[in-house]
């Protein structure tokens, strides 16, 4: 099973994703603070990061960049509040493997995670 971190400025949203993915057997850590998440990534190997594009201090894209410098192998799924091509393209251009549109649908999330990890 994979080691996953979830970063969302809304704690309930992060927790919910953690709950969904934990049930599948993944090892999930939820964060609301960018630095905490990055510190965790420095300390532990991370297979997948699920990042909200809009965060408190930084943007998800910035976090992704930093994360890549720490752990280049970590895969990423971006969470976007609106399914625009712009954000999707941006996320994919920056190396995200996929994106999910908020509000998160469980089946959608599970399928996306499976597909990203499977790749």
Partner 1 sequence: MRLVRLRFQTKIMVGIVLIVAAVALMTAIPVSRMASRAIIAESRTRGLVLAENLSLRLADALLTRDLLRMKTMIDELKGVGEDIVYAFVQDGAGNVLAHTFQKGFPVDLLEANAPGGPEGEVAHVQLLDAGSEYIYDFAVPVALDDKRLGTARLGLSRLRAEAEVRRLLVAFAGLSVAALAAALALSAVFARRVTRSINVLTKYAREVVAGNLDIETAATLEKNCWELMDCGRTQCPAYGKPRHRCWHMQGTLCPDCAPADSQGRKACARCPVYRHNAGDEIQDLAETFGIMAMTLKEQIGELEEAGQVLGRQRQLLRTILDATPDLVCLLDENHVYLAVNRGFAAFLGRTEKEIVGRSEAELFAPEQAEERMAANRAILDSARAVQAETRRKTPGGERWFHEVGVPVRDAAGRPVALLKTARDVTEVKSIEAQLLQSQKMESLGKLAGGVAHEINTPLGIILGYAQLLQDDVPEGGQVREDLQIIERQAKVCRKIVSDLLGFSRQHESSLGRMDLNASVREVASLVRHTFSLEKVVLDLDLDEGLPQLVGDREKLGQVWMNLLNNARDAMPGGGTIRIRSRLRPAEGDGPGGEASAVPTGGDWLELCVADSGAGISPEHLGKIFDPFFSTKGTGTGLGLSVSFGIVQNHGGRIEALSPAPEELRPAGENGGRPGAAFFVLLPAAQPDSPVTAPPDQAPTAKEDQP
Among 43, 45, 72, 107, binds partner 1 (CB under 8 A): 107
- Residue 93 as a binder of partner 1 (CB under 8 A): the answer is no
Please tell me whether residue 85 binds partner 1 under the rule CB under 8 A: yes
Binding mask 36-75 for partner 1 (x = CB under 8 A): ----------------------------------------
The answer to whether residue 84 forms part of the interface with partner 1 (CB under 8 A) is yes
60: closest CA among 20, 109, 100, 8? 8
Interface positions with partner 1 (CB under 8 A): 10, 12-13, 16-17, 19-20, 23, 81-86, 88-89, 101-108, 111, 115
């Amino acid at each position: 099973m994979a080691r996953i971190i979830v970063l969302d400025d809304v704690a309930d949203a992060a927790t919910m994703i953690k709950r969904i993915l934990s049930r599948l057997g993944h090892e999930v850590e939820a964060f609301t603070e960018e630095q905490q998440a990055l510190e965790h990534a420095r300390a532990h190997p991370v297979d997948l990061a699920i990042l909200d594009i809009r965060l408190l201090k930084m943007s998800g894209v910035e976090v992704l960049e930093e994360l890549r410098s720490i752990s280049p192998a970590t895969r990423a799924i971006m969470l976007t509040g609106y399914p625009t091509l712009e954000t999707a393209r941006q996320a994919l251009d920056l190396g995200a493997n996929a994106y999910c549109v908020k509000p998160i649908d469980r089946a959608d999330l599970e399928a996306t995670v499976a597909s990203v990890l499977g790749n």
